[in-house]
């Protein structure tokens, strides 16, 4: 549904943690959490690792915050309402970038973040 509404190939984004075995993500029904990378990879048929300038500490500080149900509805219905202390996936990643002002984080989708990112230069197991 997210892919259809946003015209994107992507439905979800997360941040690879510095240990390369976890991701920080905002997951519906759970909120912001640190997930095992292998469990995360098992949920999706296709994954592409990309780089975007930012500060992972901004995301880590939000672990435990609720999922932004209003925000995700806002993306679907183009109302862009959101709860300021709750997070959906692309809002979390946008908040953690160094160049998207916080007041614009709620407008970001997986597709806009994909377009703002670049291919990974880091060599790892991904």
Cα 112 → chain centroid: 11
Q: Which residue has the tokens 């190939």?
A: 9
pLDDT (tens digit, 9 = 90+) per residue, 53-81? 999 999 999 999 999 888 776 666 666 66
Q: Are 62 and 87 in contact (CB under 8 A)?
A: yes
Q: Are 9 and 44 in contact (CB under 8 A)?
A: no
Does residue 108 lie in a domain region?
yes
Does residue 85 lie in a domain region?
yes
Across the range 110-116, mean pLDDT stands at 93
Does residue 28 lie in a domain region?
yes
Q: What is the pLDDT of residue 4?
A: 57
Does residue 124 lie in a domain region?
no
Does residue 79 lie in a domain region?
yes
| Short-list 65, 58, 76, CA closest to 11 | 76
Q: What is the pLDDT of residue 121?
A: 74
How distant, in Å, are the alpha carbons of 56, 70, 114 from that of 103?
18, 15, 19
Domain that holds residue 85: 2-117
pLDDT (tens digit, 9 = 90+) per residue, 1-43? 565 566 678 889 999 999 999 999 999 999 999 999 999 999 9
């Amino acid at each position: 549904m997210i892919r259809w509404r946003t015209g994107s190939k992507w439905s979800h984004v997360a941040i690879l943690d510095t240990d390369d075995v976890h991701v920080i993500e905002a997951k519906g029904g759970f909120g912001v959490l640190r997930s095992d990378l292998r469990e995360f990879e098992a949920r999706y048929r296709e994954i592409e690792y990309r780089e975007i300038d930012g500060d992972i500490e901004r995301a880590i500080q939000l672990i435990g915050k609720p999922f932004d149900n209003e925000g995700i509805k806002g993306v679907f219905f183009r109302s862009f309402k959101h709860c300021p202390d709750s997070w959906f996936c692309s809002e979390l990643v946008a908040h953690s970038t160094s160049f998207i002002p916080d007041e614009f984080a709620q407008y970001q989708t997986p597709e806009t973040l994909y377009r703002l990112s670049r291919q990974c230069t880091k060599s790892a197991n991904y």
